Amino acid sequence: MPEFSTQTVSLAVADGTTMDAYIATPAARSTDAPGIMVFQEAFGVNAHIKDVAQRFAKLGFVAIAPELFHRSARGFEGSYTDFAGVREHMAALTLAGLQADIDATYAYLAKSPGVDRERLAATGFCLGGRVTYLANARVRLRAGVSFYGGGIAPDLLPFAAQQHAPLLMFWGGLDTHIPPEQYRAVADALSAANAVHEQVVFGQADHGFFCDQRASYNPVAARQAWALTLEFLRAYDVA
């Protein structure tokens, strides 16, 4: 018997657009399964993001990964060696659009049969790390886990005061895309807002260290980050 099943659904977004989302559901689950939103990198809902959703499904979560580029390139999957190919889609993103996408994803997950809406969380990588931070300010989560979320500082620092749930944030010490002054600014803003947060910097890890399809993959940091993620979700009664 398979450990999980998958499907793609189409979600209606408040701005009139339609967004596809990949869902991984555990084969055997209780009537009160936890739910988690898995937000993509700049490279789309690709094999890596689907694998993360499946890993959560194997642990009993209902995981949903929305396609955040649906307005500019529905079904888009970029190459990790061609960042130029994702720039136009990144540039097409807006704060209002991302917030509408968060709302649609959260509403679907919260209303899914068998999902305990009191045990919902979010995680994401790079772009998705930023969206996780936004989601935690937008909807009622139990916990959020952000991996190397670029673009939070300086523009989104005011959302630090709106964080609903405890937040775990991972950064790479070798990451030139997010220098120390940026992730320190995020930590300082969260502390000033009295938000519950944990900051973990892997000194020898680069941007994208969790993804085993990238040249920057760091297996030691990835293994530790996954263990910390699961413990964080357990600590705040999601898992």
Catalytic residues: 126, 175, 207
Distances (CA, A) of 161 to 16, 137, 168, 169: 30, 8, 16, 16
**46: which DSSP letter?**
-
Tokens encoding 236: 């705040």
Question: Which residue reads 């500082």 in tokens?
Answer: 153
**10: which DSSP letter?**
E
108 by Cβ neighbours in 10 Å (0-12 / 13-18 / 19+) ranks as buried
Contact call for residues 124 and 39 (beta carbons, < 8 A): yes
The phi, psi pair for 151, rounded to 5°, reads 85, 5
Question: Which residue reads 């709106």 in tokens?
Answer: 162
Cβ contacts of 231 within 8 Å, gap of 6 or more: none
Distances (CA, A) of 149 to 16, 107, 177: 27, 23, 10
Strand order through the sheet with 167-172: 4-12, 18-26, 62-66, 33-39, 115-125, 143-147, 167-172, 197-202
